[in-house]
Amino acid sequence: MLGKDYASPVGRASALVLILGSILQTPPAFAEPLRGSTGDPEADFNWGLSAVNAKKAHQAGFTGKGVRVGVFDSGLDITHPEFSGRVGPDSLDIEASLLAGKPIPVSGDEEGHGTFVSGIIAANRDGQGTQGIAYGASLVPLAGDIGPDTFNVQTYFAFTYFASRGGEIVNASLGVDESDAPGGVADRAYLETQFPDAISAVREAARVGVVTVWAAGNEAADNAEAMARLPYYYPELEDTSLAVVALAHSGGLASYSSKCGVATAWCLAAPGGEGDIGDPEGVSSVASGGYMTAAGTSFAAPHVTGGLAIAREIFPDADMGDLRKLILHTAVDIGEPGVDATFGWGRLDLGNVVETIAPYGRSIFAGAAFSRRLSMEQVARLPSGPVARSQRLRRLWAAGDLVFAGIDADTDAGGLPQTKARSRTLAAGLDLIERGWLTAGLGLAYTNGATSEKSTVNTATANGFHGFGYGDWAGGAWYAKGAAGVSYFRQEHERRTIPGLAGTVLALGGPEARSSSDVWGVFADAEAGRNFDLGLAGMAVFGRFTGAVQSYGATSESGLEVLGYDLLSGTVSSAQVGPGVRFSRPFTRGAWMVAPELDLSYARVLGSSDYAVRTALLGREMEARTAALGRDVFGVGAKLTFEQPERGFTASVGYSGSFRERATQHAVRLSLSVKF
């Protein structure tokens, strides 16, 4: 016959007798099936859910909710409790609709095949029986009586109708008999001769974005069956086609399953069961209200279809062609290393699909913002690095700074890794105003920042260029000093730890994603206080404000086809304010004046205590964040200044550190100034 399903190596009717096994009203009454390993009785009723790591998706809250899934098959028992609330209003009984001349909804399933397939996709999670991969999805049954004389017409109506209703995902656990084709292989000419309307409808549905999941066939052939290998004849269909081979419980290819063959590029594997008579392995719902066991590529395909529904819920704005690639790229490599002719991309893995949105995959973008803020703070504080300004001529000065900072890991925030940042600064300035009580000038600085993460190999670097003005005023015991400026960074990101690729084909090649962006910023640092003479030492009590705003532009990563992030434009702001105290004790040694200083300070963070950057993956907007650093900042600093007033030479070396709940910062600062 021209039309056939792939429930088993034999035809549909004999499949129900030999392979589907016992059809009973209550699950406990039939032979005990093989179970999954999650410990959840309902999920483990079908071992396939455990095999594709569906539990991780369900634990993350993804069930296919809101996603419509078409099932082109024999129908659906809509009275079965597993489908209560699961059937959408736009189902179609094709044969009845053709006779009536208007759409007629599906009311039943005489053969049971469609009910079994639908149960794997979306059976309810209701505490009894089994559950589907995407138990929150809505089913759109497209019931056909697919036989030798009906395949062409009914396939045409199924795909045309589903596409016209805005459908995006359809399961087609069926195929064509190729025995009458020349050489036993249905080529393009044969398909267009025998099934012109069906092929046209599939191509048109693909054009509007419908992704079809095809069973690879149960002929134990070297190539997937004709419908599953359609992109071999029509290359434009590859972006909307998936072919699925069946796995036995052992993890190898089921003995009856055809291999991917020429469909390798769009093919993967999923649980189908071995299907030996008397030892069936798959479990799902059956028409008449019970459950049954079965095996076949017909039942491997709906695991993938349910996985697509999960992916669509995670990425509601993604292109369906990209979601098809996501399913392939996150499959676990099995068989020969790489994409192979038996298993294609490997075994479906929903754990990997969900892992693609793990926070640690994008946290480097936020860590880079933290590092840039570090550089701007360095630049803002360098002009006040030498001694207090008094009794000097107009002066040229230079200063260097090396800062190390770290952010602790946060396992409570999605596994955020420990972040390390380093920034080197070289600055120079010129005092333009010398009034005794006021010194002011302009400066330029270059910074080189680097960010890395302990548990990933993701890194970021930023070359920064800064222009700033500064001033230092003293009026009796009171003083004020500060700096403000503008920054430009050329930011580079490099991600080599890509969530969702564990054990995959892409992981073998060392995946890498890169991006570059331009970041502008403004910064300010101001301190005001009063000096006190304590006799043996001087003391200053002060208040300090420091803040910065970064504005970053949009860019996209290159190097990964579907798992590259888009960095969306936005701003990052940070500010601190608080009091401090400084002790100093100048003394002379020969021609040198030596001034040691010790700072102790506290600051309160204004606004958010973490760093967040706007990103998107496959259209899903997600913030990249560091761990919450804490709002209380305790600082300590020490500086030793050497000055020869007669020669106009001043140099200083200092250390400063700040300590927060989840972050530390250490800086070593060198400065040099020369009168001229």
CA 364 – CA 455 distance, rounded (Å): 11
- Going by C-alpha positions, the residue among 430, 413, 397 that lies closest to residue 362 is 413
Q: Which helix (H) or strand (E) holds 282?
A: strand 282-285
Q: Which of 281, 276, 278 is nearest to 46 (CA)?
A: 281
Instruction: Indicate the DSSP class of residue 340.
Output: B
Order of strands, sheet of 612-617, starting from the edge strand that comes earlier in the sequence = 555-556, 566-567, 612-617, 620-625
Question: Is-catalytic flag, 14?
Answer: no
Beta strands in 411-477 (DSSP E): 419-434, 438-453, 459-475
Is 329 assigned a catalytic role? no
| Active-site choice (74, 298, 375, 671) | 298
- The number of residues in the chain equals 676
Q: What amino acid is encoded at 45 in this protein?
A: F
The arrangement of strands across the sheet holding 241-247 comes to: 92-93, 138-143, 68-73, 169-172, 211-215, 241-247, 267-271
CA 313 to chain centre: 14
The answer to whether residues 595 and 538 touch, using CB atoms and an 8 Å cutoff, is no
Catalytic residue among 58, 80, 113, 466: 113
Burial 225-264 (b: 16+ CB within 10 A, else e): bbbbbbbbbeeebbbbbbbbbbbbbeeebbebbbbbbbbb
- The closest alpha carbon to 281, from 50, 534, 585, belongs to 50
d(CA 409, CA 23): 53
425 with 452: CB under 8 angstroms? no
* Interstrand relation of 513-533 and 566-567 (parallel, antiparallel or unpaired): unpaired
d(CA 499, CA 346): 17
Dist. CA 335–CA 259, nearest whole Å: 12
Q: Is the dihedral of CA 332, 335, 340, 341 positive or negative?
A: negative
Sorted by sequence, the CB contacts under 8 Å of residue 54 that are 6+ apart come out as: 43, 133, 306, 310, 350
DSSP state of 416: B
- Is position 666 annotated as part of the catalytic site? no
Q: Which of 5, 8, 44, 73 is catalytic?
A: 73
According to DSSP, the residues that pair with 211 across neighbouring strands are 169
Report residue 134 as tokens.
Answer: 């995407």
Q: How far apart are CA 328 and CA 312, in angstroms?
A: 14
Smallest CA-to-CA distance from 254 within 187, 342, 313, 166 is with: 342
Beta bridge partners of 322: none
Which residue's entry shows tokens 């690639």?
325
Which positions are annotated as active-site residues? 73, 113, 298
